[in-house]
Amino acid sequence: MSYRERAIAVPGAVLWERFVGPAPARTRILPDGCLDLLWDGRRLFVAGPDSAARWHGSPAGARYVGLRFSGGLGPALLGVPADEVRDQSPDLDALWPAGAVRGLTERVAEDPVGALRAWAVESLESRRGRMPETRSTRR
């Protein structure tokens, strides 16, 4: 298994990739107060802040690409309050309108690293100078 992070042109965000080797893997995830937007090769989902350590199982050969947002940036860019996704990993289509998810999913499927990096920069630019809009996930 390999993992790498790199800074992007969005303060408070890190782009990361994790590759699982030829055998399934279990990874311990420690609470860090961050939100992540993740691509697992077939879907986009949000990992809310965890309140306790947990284990995550990954199949052999899996690749994950994600954006980790700290310091309140995740709720601002993703448009969802952090407490509403705490200890959860909802699919992005449960949080955003279908058209927006479809468009981003298509871009990410073609180039996960480039598309997520570009989305973060575009989202930050579009939100400068205005309060973030949030949508409740509670029904």
Structure tokens at 101: 């998810």
DSSP designation for 95: T
pLDDT at site 137: 43
- Domain extents in the chain: 2-127
Report phi then psi at 126, rounded to 5.
-70, -20
Helices 112-127 and 98-110 sit at what angle, rounded to 10 degrees? 140
pLDDT digits (tens, 9 = 90+) for 61-80: 999 999 999 989 999 999 99
Structure tokens at 3: 């993992």
For the chain, report the end-to-end CA distance as a whole number of angstroms: 38
Residues 36-48: b if buried by 16+ CB within 10 A, e if exposed: bbbbbeeebbbbb
pLDDT digits (tens, 9 = 90+) for 125-138: 998 765 344 444 44
Distance from C-alpha of 90 to C-alpha of 109, rounded to nearest angstrom: 18
pLDDT digits (tens, 9 = 90+) for 84-134: 999 999 999 999 999 999 999 999 999 999 999 999 999 999 987 653 444
